[in-house]
Structure 1
């Protein structure tokens, strides 16, 4: 039986429209009233399906409208942000010779995307892409390949594989950590390093950003069996928050040195033991942190963030549809769009501005097997 509207009770929690909260002392400065946005969705889909879709979205009332779609890319499971030159990058998550990075040109007037270029990743199952148009580079995290690929990427949409960094090692979980599994890639706060979350070896791989060399000496080591998947950074770059897929924790890092980091706190996100925590994002004002958890008790864990220390306190949990993966928060902080793969829908939640708790609006955007949501306007 579905339990999407049931409440997960926390100690001293408040019952509130399908979600929970434990602290209402702090007040938000309020949301902005800017309106029209555009987002793209990525999915698990066949090459002859519209795996990428473009939608308009209103920050005022959560209204949305389908605008266009793109066929010809199998399993476009993760998308980059829009570059300043209206280019988007998409992985094609396949094995071996079917693993690609695609570039797509976006037309703001027609709200349409068209394929501009592609190249093979050289590593199986690319599941994350980061683009840096200012340096003319793009990067993919290749899960099954256990590698990171560096691409030359110009403003016209041309992409060319430049280097593949293959990692070694294993973790303590024999079924999930038999080898490296690189799941995401970011710049360090000072942009001097590239950080790659390696679920298979419980570490964040640290690569020099100037020449893409890797020694392993600067790696950020996380607890055994944790399985780091995604991360996000507090504004100013002093703190980073890592969601670990296997242990279901949020690991808080002090990143004040810019290129390195140390663990200052670990807090449980997945209390159901699903071993499927997926994505993590801060609210635009930095007051709240959200992490998606799958496989058991699917939903979003909610945390309040200390402005002074960067440490977090778990304040609630909001149940969602089945298998929540990636999610996106509107720039004004009012809505959260959750890609629920096994519901074939992107679910829309409105955020309580005092508690940070998501409240189910009941609105659903029909998309087959969605796993990625990105704002592009």
Structure 2
């Protein structure tokens, strides 16, 4: 596995409404990947997902509350500092991404994606500039009565924004037009699959969609030239059909594109998936315990040597050393973070 740079800082989101400390700043040990908490701020309620600016000096957070907001923080000190008032977006935003001079928020409860412009200094505009509302539903009687945008991210080319909707079993490809954020095309996935998160292969021509309502991974081709996502098939992310709850939460890919890892809540495991050279025939090779309970998020550090699980209900972030030949992670340690929800690296 190709090894990249070593991260110096990690930022951890958590649910303040469940006893979490808010946005946590941690130091990353260069050799072991161990985390040491430096400080935390609860200036924003329920900062469940975070994203860093390219320069690393500004951290963006969703406030996953019924009202819903985006917030920006400065990162130069051991505790992140709020940079201006939070900006209202849709209800219960669960994810965000930087795209074309904006921060986009995926709003789960209101089923929409909201765009907030960025100033030259990285701060957020006072109000959103546009909102793209999803429509539709799915066959699940409780979870798919309407749209539920769960993730939004820019594609590797930077030309498109992609939103994943659990409620409509679809992925939307979007871009900015004369009327703001507009729909380019919507791609249907298997009814009842409940897509949650998507990750692009580092090569930029494949995408993998993790489904929450069935523990599977949908393999897709991706054509950045015309913004086309093409589903090829599904792969189970668990070796056996679970007897109880099994809700996949996150999918991440190795920097060199040789492995994928997924997390599943309920079974509380990390699945190791090996990728072939083309990326069309992923293969489940192992599952290992996540180190806690209810892994809401996974993150691989930029070096490709360590994997991190944010275990929401056990209140910790566990880190693993990745075997560079097999991709199998081995537990190396953990740090207490009540109601942990995500990890990003700077």
Q: Return the TM-score normalized by structure 1.
A: 0.84
Q: Which runs of 5+ in 2 are unaligned?
A: none
* Gap change, CA 1:166 and 1:39, over 3 Å in 2: same
Give RMSD over aligned pairs.
2.0
User: Is 2:340 the partner of 1:370?
Assistant: yes
User: Is 2:107 the partner of 1:138?
Assistant: no
Q: In structure 1, what is the Cα distance between the partners aligned to 2:33 and 2:202?
A: 26
Q: What residue number does 1:318 align with?
A: 288
Q: In structure 2, what is the Cα distance between the partners aligned to 1:48 and 1:316?
A: 33
Give the superposition deviation at 1:309.
4.1
Pick one of 155, 165, 179 that aligns with 1:198: 165
Matches of residues 195-344 of structure 1 in structure 2 within 5 Å? 195-211=162-178, 212-215=180-183, 218-258=185-225, 259-270=227-238, 271-272=241-242, 274-295=245-266, 297-320=267-290, 321-344=292-315
Q: What residue number does 2:95 align with?
A: 128
Q: How many residues align?
A: 338
Give the superposition deviation at 1:207.
1.8
* Gap change, CA 1:63 and 1:207, over 3 Å in 2: closer
Give the superposition deviation at 1:265.
2.5
Give the superposition deviation at 1:187.
2.0
Q: In structure 2, what is the Cα distance between the partners aligned to 1:85 and 1:60?
A: 21
Pick one of 130, 137, 152 that aligns with 1:163: 130
Q: In structure 2, what is the Cα distance between the partners aligned to 1:68 and 1:249?
A: 37
Contact 2:98–2:154 under 8 Å retained in 1: no
Contact 1:77–1:91 under 8 Å retained in 2: yes
Contact 1:44–1:51 under 8 Å retained in 2: yes
Q: In structure 1, what is the Cα distance between the partners aligned to 2:66 and 2:7?
A: 38
Give the superposition deviation at 1:49.
6.3
Q: In structure 1, what is the Cα distance between the partners aligned to 2:136 and 2:34?
A: 47
Give the superposition deviation at 1:235.
1.4
User: Is 2:69 the partner of 1:100?
Assistant: yes
Contact 2:41–2:80 under 8 Å retained in 1: yes
* Gap change, CA 1:257 and 1:126, over 3 Å in 2: closer
Q: Which runs of 5+ in 1 are unaligned?
A: 1-27
User: Is 2:48 the partner of 1:77?
Assistant: yes
Q: What residue number does 2:113 align with?
A: 148
* Gap change, CA 1:39 and 1:213, over 3 Å in 2: closer
Contact 2:307–2:321 under 8 Å retained in 1: yes
Q: In structure 1, what is the Cα distance between the partners aligned to 2:56 and 2:310?
A: 27
Contact 1:188–1:195 under 8 Å retained in 2: yes
Higher-Rg member (1/2): 1
Give the superposition deviation at 1:85.
6.3
Give the superposition deviation at 1:356.
0.5
Give the superposition deviation at 1:168.
1.5
SS of the equivalent of 1:151 reads strand
1:188-224 CA distances to partner (integer Å, 9 max, x unpaired)? 3443332100000000122223444535x72111000
Q: In structure 1, what is the Cα distance between the partners aligned to 2:287 and 2:18?
A: 36
Give the superposition deviation at 1:143.
0.4
SS of the equivalent of 2:51 reads coil
SS of the equivalent of 1:360 reads strand
Pick one of 33, 50, 54 that aligns with 1:62: 33
Q: In structure 2, what is the Cα distance between the partners aligned to 1:35 and 1:194?
A: 28
Give the superposition deviation at 1:261.
1.2
Q: In structure 1, what is the Cα distance between the partners aligned to 2:70 and 2:135?
A: 23
